[in-house]
Structure 1
Amino acid sequence: MALNHAAILARTIIGIIGNVISFALFLSPVPTFVKVIKWRSTREFSGVPYVVMLLNSTLWVFYGIPAAVSNNILVSTTNGIGTVLEIVYIIIFLIFSDYRERRKIVLLLSAVPIIFTAVVLCNMLFVDTLPRRAEIVGSLCIVAGIGMYAAPLTIMGKVIRAKSVKYMPFALSFTYFINGLFWSTYACMGIDIFLLIANGAGALLGACQLVLYATYYHGVHPEDQEKTRQDGHELEKVTTVTEANQEIHISKTTK
């Protein structure tokens, strides 16, 4: 019995730590959106990861509710906070994105409440037992969770082509990896196969993102190379004009 209590306590502690890390994960886009507000443009940042994270968070909130699906209130609390933060990020993204990107994000975003409402209603109306609900919602959470962890890879092609990680947020990739690692541990201690698969895949995908980041960390983005060239041309022009003025001044002085 003592061992059982110790195991429950250990799992609870891991879950609380996982909550803290998940909170850090949901806060990790803040530096990105500070840049977006400063630039008044989203530039090449993608809004897809935030829509996928919103869907993922809402499904895990439902999954963790004791009376609805499973007794995983720690999962519900952290994802409830995540849901609010993702909505804030998406609003900022929509304000500063161009028409084409805004249209794409709005179309994706419109699917989130439809999917969530359908999942809740179908499970509450047509599925009577909690284990069966956990199986159905958990399976959907696996898909959404893997989608969330894989979403930042949408920028992967740009990173490889540009050989630069300028538009690949390190904080997001790093917290994805740590978050997946801790929640996988939590799932193993409670034998929650749905949490384990989703977050195990998340840890693996997060590791892939970190490897990509390390590979192209020292790369210079083409737009920065162009800016450097332009600055060099401007400096060359200024230098040429300055030298010409000096020659004219010397010529006038000698006369």
Structure 2
Amino acid sequence: MAESLRMTIAVLGNVAAVSLYAAPTVTFKRVIRKKSTEEFSCIPYIVALMNCLLFTWYGLPVVSNKWENFPLVTVNGAGILFELSYVLIYFWFSSPKGKVKVAMTAIPVLIVFCVIAILSSFAFHDHRHRKLLVGGVGLGVSIAMYSSPLVAMKKVIQTKSVEFMPLPLSLCSFLASSLWLTYGLLIRDIFVAGPSVIGTPLGILQLVLHCKYRTRRETEENNKVDPHKGNIEKVDLEMGHGKECVSS
């Protein structure tokens, strides 16, 4: 029963997380169509790529005990494909200066991952210490990745508009975080649950902002009076008032 519950949550977490990874495809379709990266930054995608690499490695039998963390391999393996595609598209369509920036950010990140993979494979000879190394670094990178929506939330509060924070993205973020938090607690793995300790409250906060500012926007739109309609109503009132005066 417990094993079935863990697998069900893992599958749902995979679906929600892959949906979250796939969300930026809309942005990159625009980049391809316009052949320009405009004002978009590549850093969030490089950080996400590093996160996926680390947790894919964490879930493999080299670090984990056999295939105990296989769901991590599937979801983060898909994440690697998505994030690597985004980085490559960004690199291809960026300016020469932008290409240098991407390279100077991505190459050190890949070197750090390779160093961690080599150390965890040869410097440590038991799964516990390998998990501490890879999971500890992965936890730090995940915190950085989950903190990125703070920029969007700040913009929502400043503009009082949820235009810059799509509801499907916020919903997928909340579902993925809460499901992986539950899964991490069930398997008693702090490195799996840890990132979602931050991701889940941030997801809830995004949904709260949606409720607050979407409701406000709808109220403001409903309170707007059509000028033409307003004039007609004004004439009707004046005519009605005139009729009352005549009849009196």
TM-score, length-scaled by structure 2: 0.76
| Equivalent residue letter for 1:27 | A
User: 1:79-134 CA deviation, whole Å, 9 max, x = no partner?
Assistant: 01110111111122223344555443332211221111011111111111101111
Q: Partner residue of 1:202?
A: 199
CA distance in 2, matches of 1:63, 1:197: 14
Q: Partner residue of 1:115?
A: 112
1:116–1:75 distance in 2 versus 1, CA, 3 Å:
same
CA distance in 2, matches of 1:110, 1:211: 38
CA distance in 2, matches of 1:186, 1:84: 23
Show the 5 A alignment for 1:36-51.
36-51=31-46
CA distance in 1, matches of 2:17, 2:31: 23
CA distance in 2, matches of 1:175, 1:218: 21
Tell me which of 4, 8, 19 is aligned to 2:3: 8
Aligned identity (percent) is: 34
Root-mean-square deviation over aligned CA pairs: 2.6
Asked whether the 8 Å contact 1:28–1:175 carries over to 2, the reply is no
| Equivalent residue letter for 2:117 | V
CA distance in 2, matches of 1:49, 1:213: 22
Q: Which deviates more from structure 2 when the two are superposed, residues 205-214 or residues 79-88? A: 205-214
Tell me which of 137, 140, 152 is aligned to 1:140: 137
1:153–1:197 distance in 2 versus 1, CA, 3 Å:
same
Q: Partner residue of 2:183?
A: 186
Q: Is 1:56 matched with 2:51?
A: yes
Asked whether the 8 Å contact 2:62–2:121 carries over to 1, the reply is no
Q: CA deviation at 1:77?
A: 1.3
> Unaligned stretches of 5+ in structure 1?
1-5, 221-255
| Equivalent residue letter for 1:121 | I
CA distance in 2, matches of 1:171, 1:32: 14
Asked whether the 8 Å contact 2:16–2:173 carries over to 1, the reply is no
Q: Partner residue of 1:86?
A: 83
Q: Partner residue of 1:76?
A: 73
1:145–1:73 distance in 2 versus 1, CA, 3 Å:
same
Asked whether the 8 Å contact 1:45–1:167 carries over to 2, the reply is no
**Residue aligned with 2:148, SS:** helix
CA distance in 2, matches of 1:94, 1:215: 37
TM-score, length-scaled by structure 1: 0.74
Q: Which deviates more from structure 2 when the two are superposed, residues 147-156 or residues 206-215? A: 206-215
**Residue aligned with 1:94, SS:** helix
Number of equivalenced pairs:
215
> Unaligned stretches of 5+ in structure 2?
218-248
Q: CA deviation at 1:147?
A: 1.3
User: 1:127-153 CA deviation, whole Å, 9 max, x = no partner?
Assistant: 111011112211111111111111233
